[in-house]
Amino acid sequence: MNQWEWQLLEDKQSVDQVEIDGVKVSPGSRVRLRPRSGGDVLDIALAGQTATIEAIEQDYEGKVHICVVLDEDPGRDMGMLRQPGHRFFFNVAEVEPLLGDVPAAKTTTPSILVAGIGNIFFGDDAFGVEVARRLAARNPSQTVRVTDFGIRSLDLAYALQDGYETVILVDAVQGTQAPGTVYVIQPDMQSLSASEKTIVNAHGMDPVRVLQLAASMGAKLDRILLVSCQPADLGGQQGKLGLSAQVEAGVEAAVQKIESLIIQIERGQWPHA
């Protein structure tokens, strides 16, 4: 059963836990997927993969459905936030508990989103991606969610609907500074018209258009900061892997700057960009 079929069902009820092959599982438990034989191409692709249970729900007919997020999905954090395209539903007979696995502990709901933006195939445009990777490796507090959105514009637009009090975008932006210079901008959100018809490329990333789309969808965008870096080399038409020396040096400065911003925000002090 795919997500769209599930949405057609009525009166869904959350279930705390269910027993599968003598093992009690609940949200946070890890399982291996065993889709029924004769399924579609997606079932074949998912067979044998491991996943984490995001929810257990019962439909109006009393049937129990297991909602999972794939362990190998690069956008799995979007699935855990119940975003479309990253959650899959199976019946009880189609999942196998991974023995010895303990349900993940519930954590504090993040209030700050740090969104890395960029295309790794265009040289210094990967600045935001690399900053997000390094920042996430430093285990920020539970109030912070750090995600590499890359060029997944629609995923970012959906994430902006989740009620974060503060959003910090991280991106390489052409300006007048010397290459590698890191600076903080507070965008003028009033200039973004929520009523403006906005078309977003699902396979490209234009932060301004994404913010316009998110605003048109009802997102509250009052506290937005942009941590930016002046690129030296965007790879030209042929593209390029890897950051320039100047921007590579700026990555650590950006990580430290974001950590400082987070401390100020958590203390109730809005930073002056």
- Residue ranges of alpha helices (H) inside 47-107 are 76-80
Q: Do 92 and 116 share a structural domain?
A: no
Classify residue 102: in a domain, yes or no. Answer: no
Strand 224-229: give its sheet, edge to edge.
144-150, 112-117, 166-172, 224-229, 182-185
Minimal CA–CA distance to 192: which of 171, 214, 165, 162? 214
Least reliable range by pLDDT among 58-62, 163-167, 181-185: 58-62
Structural domain containing residue 245 = 112-266
State which of 65, 97, 129 marks the end of a domain. Answer: 97
pLDDT at 192: 61
Classify residue 78: in a domain, yes or no. Answer: yes
How confident is the model over 87-120, as pLDDT tens digits? Answer: 888 989 999 998 765 444 444 567 899 999 999 9
Q: Do 208 and 125 share a structural domain?
A: yes
* The model's pTM: 0.60
Classify residue 197: in a domain, yes or no. Answer: yes
pLDDT at 125: 93
Q: Do 77 and 152 share a structural domain?
A: no
Q: Do 119 and 89 share a structural domain?
A: no
- For the segment 72-84, the average pLDDT, to the nearest whole number, is 59
Classify residue 272: in a domain, yes or no. Answer: no
Looking at the structure of the chain, the number of domains it has is: 2
Question: What value does the mean pLDDT of the chain take?
Answer: 81
pLDDT at 101: 55
Confidence of residue 250 (pLDDT cuts 50, 70, 90): very high
Classify residue 64: in a domain, yes or no. Answer: yes
Pick the more confident residue, 267 or 40.
267
Q: Do 93 and 183 share a structural domain?
A: no
Pick the more confident residue, 96 or 220.
96
Q: Do 237 and 116 share a structural domain?
A: yes
Is residue 263 pLDDT above 70, yes or no?
Answer: yes
Fill in the amino acid letter for 25.
Answer: V
Looking at the chain, the whole-number percentage of residues with pLDDT higher than 70 is 81
Q: Do 258 and 179 share a structural domain?
A: yes
State which of 70, 97, 124 marks the end of a domain. Answer: 97
pLDDT at 74: 66
List the end-to-end C-alpha distance of the chain, in Å, as a whole number. 48
Minimal CA–CA distance to 155: which of 249, 251, 77, 228? 77
- For the segment 241-250, the average pLDDT, to the nearest whole number, is 94
Query: For the domain that residue 8 is a member of, what is the CATH number?
Result: 2.30.30.490
Confidence of residue 237 (pLDDT cuts 50, 70, 90): confident
pLDDT at 203: 46
State which of 48, 66, 97 marks the end of a domain. Answer: 97
Cα–Cα distances (Å) from 179 to 128, 159, 237, 247, 251, in that order, read: 15, 30, 20, 7, 12
Are 222 and 192 contacting, i.e. CB atoms less than 8 angstroms apart?
no
Is residue 202 pLDDT above 50, yes or no?
Answer: no
Is residue 38 pLDDT above 90, yes or no?
Answer: no
Q: Do 168 and 86 share a structural domain?
A: no
Q: Do 48 and 177 share a structural domain?
A: no
Minimal CA–CA distance to 102: which of 25, 15, 18? 25
Cα–Cα distances (Å) from 90 to 24, 27, 39, 207, in that order, read: 16, 14, 12, 35
- For the segment 262-273, the average pLDDT, to the nearest whole number, is 82
Fill in the amino acid letter for 54.
Answer: E
Q: Do 235 and 198 share a structural domain?
A: yes
Q: Do 253 and 125 share a structural domain?
A: yes
Query: For the domain that residue 152 is a member of, what is the CATH number?
Result: 3.40.50.1450
- For the segment 150-167, the average pLDDT, to the nearest whole number, is 88
Q: Which two tokens stand for residue 32?
A: 């291996």
Classify residue 120: in a domain, yes or no. Answer: yes
- For the segment 228-253, the average pLDDT, to the nearest whole number, is 91
Is residue 256 pLDDT above 80, yes or no?
Answer: yes
Confidence of residue 4 (pLDDT cuts 50, 70, 90): very low
Classify residue 273: in a domain, yes or no. Answer: no
Q: Do 150 and 261 share a structural domain?
A: yes
Angle at 66 between CA 28 and CA 136, to 5 degrees: 35
